[in-house]
Amino acid sequence: MAVDYVVIAVYLAGMLAMGWWGMRRARSKSEFLVAGRRLGPALYSGTMAAIVLGGASTIGGVGLGYQYGLSGAWMVFTIGLGLLALSVFFSARIARLKVYTVSEMLDLRYGGRAGLISGVVMWAYTLMLAVTSTIAYATIFDVLFDVDRTLAIVLGGSIVVAYSTLGGMWSITLTDMVQFVVKTIGVLLLLLPIAVVKAGGFSGMKAELPTSYFDPLGIGGETIFTYVLIYTFGMLIGQDIWQRVFTARSDRTARWGGTVAGTYCLVYALAGAVIGTAAKVLYPKLGSPDDAFATIVKDELPVGVRGLVLAAALAAVMSTSSGALIACATVANNDIWSRLRGIVRPSAQEHDEVRGNRAFILLMGVAVIGTAIALNNVVEALTVAYNLLVGGLLVPILGGLLWRRGTVQGALAAVVVGGVAVIGLMAAYGILANEPVYYGLLASLAAYAAVSLATRPTDEAVLTAWRERLAGRGKPELVSEPVPAPR
């Protein structure tokens, strides 16, 4: 195991070094929060794939493969479909808006007054997403070092908070690119073929397992439909995803780079399900499906390779965790605190925006680590996050992009009614039930349509300004002197 420890230690040290490098580069708000909007196709594709393929996609995806076979790929597959839909249909328009948050987009489209409430919902989503990723450190560090759960969360979380606070999106972009490469080598090129060979190849797997394990719909139609609602639509509207779209240097980069990343997700989904199916052959009686990844890595891989694959799992968790953390901090500072500060002190003096955003990342990072220590159930926390996101914000965001008649009153009604409905239904049916997101989404849609039609249309001047921004002809944002972007 000594070689494995060295591999992990080098990887973690590299993450911190990139955080230090990013600190020297992030000299303006744009550079700190969206990497100066300068990422080319290679960096954009790699970092977008890294942010959406986290610990749930890696450890959870293998676990679903262990439990259901090839149909266990559907959860990660629907994430890939969502990223493809975002990239093909919406990413170019989103990138042209030149904003920092989803709530700023809502303010532009509806003429203000929607940002604070939507910001609170988005903040809750990004916070819980960061928490679920941070909890996953406990599983990985337990396999690596057999350490206490709390210590594992503090250790992993502190490294992510450190490099994210230092360099913002520049640091996260560079670390995500490394994490993308490590995941590709560790999971797709090493663990996948080794697991299949150890399980006797596909013929041996078919001989050992029931035919349901090779049924593409074996996980169930209702489950697949729920995955589409939560993950596919969630990819369209999440602050963590949009903030990556804002980093693209052109419409073409956002569209085609995202398409490449989405296609990669589809391949990753199938790989995870196959690895989990192989694990079922090798270890038919594991206590929990989520143990499949760690078990097959620990028992079947040679020294050195094992360290690299565990680094891949750690990379998956860190990429999602850092992306969710900067999204959470951006929303907290720009959508909530700055608005409240403007109400209390409307004549407040200019302040250092980079330092302010850096302070919020540190503050949110401490909150995320503390919450992760207090919670135990990753699936429930992730379900709460996505239910709130889809139930509260899907309708007003897509409605704003697609329906001219939508109004700010309708948007606010959709956020409040959808959010309250989701919370109430989770209390009534249970957090993991399907009904909360189904009925919450329908309630949000009904409120949006009814209130929008019952109120005055959005002012034509607001819609004109909105169309100008969508076309890329709006007021340019102030940026520092340009720095050549890596390609």
Single-letter amino acid, residue 417: V
Q: Which residues contact 407 (CB under 8 A, 6 or more apart)?
A: 110, 451, 452, 455, 456, 457, 458
pLDDT at 480: 37
Give pairs for 334-339: CB < 8 Å, separation 24+. Answer: 334/100, 334/101, 334/103, 334/104, 335/101, 335/103, 335/104, 335/115, 335/116, 335/118, 335/119, 335/122, 335/123, 336/116, 336/119, 336/120, 336/123, 339/115, 339/116, 339/119
Which among 155, 158, 153, 128 is positioned nearest to 138, based on CA atoms? 153
Higher-pLDDT residue of 197 and 133 is 197
Alpha carbons 111 and 334: distance in angstroms, whole number: 17
CB 410 within 8 A of CB 449: yes
Query: All domains of the chain, ordered by start, with CATH?
Result: 1-339+354-375 (1.20.1730.10), 378-473 (no CATH)
pLDDT at 66: 95
CB 70 within 8 A of CB 274: yes
Q: Note the pTM of the prediction, 2 decimals.
A: 0.86
∠ at Cα 313 (100, 14), nearest 5°? 70
CB 2 within 8 A of CB 449: no
Alpha carbons 319 and 317: distance in angstroms, whole number: 6
CB 240 within 8 A of CB 86: no
Alpha carbons 64 and 61: distance in angstroms, whole number: 5
pLDDT at 485: 42
pLDDT(198) > 50: yes
144 token code pair: 């690596």
Give the relative orientation of helices 408-429 and 115-145 as an angle to the nearest 10 degrees. 40
H or E stretch at 29: helix 29-34
The whole-number average pLDDT for the span 108-117 is 79
What DSSP letter does each residue of 39-76 carry, written as one string? B-HHHHHHHHHHHHS-HIIIIIHHHHHHHHGGGGGHHH
The whole-number average pLDDT for the span 421-441 is 91
The whole-number average pLDDT for the span 196-211 is 93
pLDDT at 259: 96
Alpha carbons 358 and 23: distance in angstroms, whole number: 10
Q: For 62-71, 77-86, 177-186, which range has the lowest pLDDT when averaged over its residues?
A: 177-186
pLDDT at 129: 86
pLDDT at 487: 39
CB 289 within 8 A of CB 64: yes
Alpha carbons 391 and 425: distance in angstroms, whole number: 11
Q: Over pLDDT 90: what percentage of the chain?
A: 43
pLDDT at 383: 80
pLDDT at 328: 92
∠ at Cα 246 (243, 247), nearest 5°? 100
The whole-number average pLDDT for the span 223-235 is 91
Give the relative orientation of helices 408-429 and 102-110 as an angle to the nearest 10 degrees. 140
Q: For 193-207, 347-361, 470-484, which range has the lowest pLDDT when averaged over its residues?
A: 470-484
The whole-number average pLDDT for the span 154-166 is 88
Alpha carbons 308 and 300: distance in angstroms, whole number: 13
Alpha carbons 264 and 242: distance in angstroms, whole number: 18
